[in-house]
Structure 1
Amino acid sequence: MIRVVVVDDHPLYRQALADTVSGAPELELVGAAGDGPTGLDLIRRLDPDVAILDVRMRGCDGPDVAHALEQSGVGTRVLFISAHDDGPTVHRALSAGGNGFLSKDAGSKEIRRAIVGVMRGEVVLAPVAGRRLTAELRRQRLPETPPLTEREQQMLERIAEGRSVAEIAAELHLGHATVKTHLRSLYTKLEVSERAAAVAAAMRRGLLT
């Protein structure tokens, strides 16, 4: 069972998300909140596997919550769902520690698949969000390219494809600890702390196409 918390300040949509989660046999709804601060406290207390966050909320918004979770070392994965899917919004959400981004017009099946996907370590993006993020990253692209080793480039390409540590280790015939060492080195060079932000930073720098 994947334990899920829902945080959205629109009561009707929050209930719809709760019903979507509750209706899936592989998912368990463990809590719901209507604003950022309450949601942050709830996630810290319940330690769910996945948190579904609205981007724009009262008190503190979704990216603020995701950033606070990342800073405090909470391992909950974050799926953003928002009515606002412009490039800067998607970029900010993922840079704050998000593992996925869907539009609020996503259907129940798409949302359930996205929850399972982010739980597996995938970076899940709605097609329109992906296109707008790509455009935003091109706009923000930095001229300097950090020097990556061949192994670090291999790690980067595989995390961009949503591969897990175990899958990367098996494909490259490396130990899990070795893969994690290369990933830490990659994150340090890109000045990030997790895979979604690494993919975003690499695209900005032209390291991924």
Structure 2
Amino acid sequence: MIDLYYWTTPNGHKITLFLEEAGLDYRLHPVNIGRGEQFAAEFLEIAPNNRIPAIVDRNPADGGQPLALFESGAILEYLADKSGQFLPASGRERYVVLQWLYWQMGGLGPMAGQNHHFRNYAPARIDYAIERYAKETARLYGVLDRRLEDHEFVGGDAYSIADMAIWPWIKPHARQGQDLEDFPHVQRWFTAIGERNGVRRAYARAETVNPRDGVEMDDEARRHLFGR
């Protein structure tokens, strides 16, 4: 059994996508980041960076004590190795998938996240920041579009944790100032992934936790998330 500490953000959705696609048993523990629950002492024992998602594997692959992990990329890699699904066990294909997973972690996620912040949440409009992050997000969409021009999935011929990591960050494309018609190969891929049963189940599960699919951005949420 996997205990998943989760909120309905792109990083949280990555893990429910995997768990639903892989058919692994898990329990959801909502951590409402807009209400400061990520700072609770018991959560910090699992996730010292006070960010979701995090997991506790009660039956780890090595047969030892329960294993706690934070950072969504590390969690995806661990779950893939444990289950033997969605990540090649060795060889070049494994590293191709991992490079795109790390591309999302180090590029698309941070840049799109800053894009979201300055477009939608910043207390004052800063045109330079909005333009800077929108352009960088568009550049990254372009990188992804070129990759998908001659590959069915991000990692190659097979659906993988790279797709699961990237797709939830493309889903809010309109809030990032991006039009998928400008990226036809991303659009084709995005539509195909969205029709998968595991993806649909993951987002249906999110509805039961938080129908808003994100954070209700009131003054309390801004204080917890942005230190204001």
TM-score category, normalised to shorter length: under 0.3
Q: Structure 1-normalised TM-score?
A: 0.27
Q: Structure 2-normalised TM-score?
A: 0.25
Structure number with greater CO (CA < 8 Å, separation at least 6) is 2
The structure in which a higher percent of residues are helix is 2
The structure in which a higher percent of residues are strand is 1
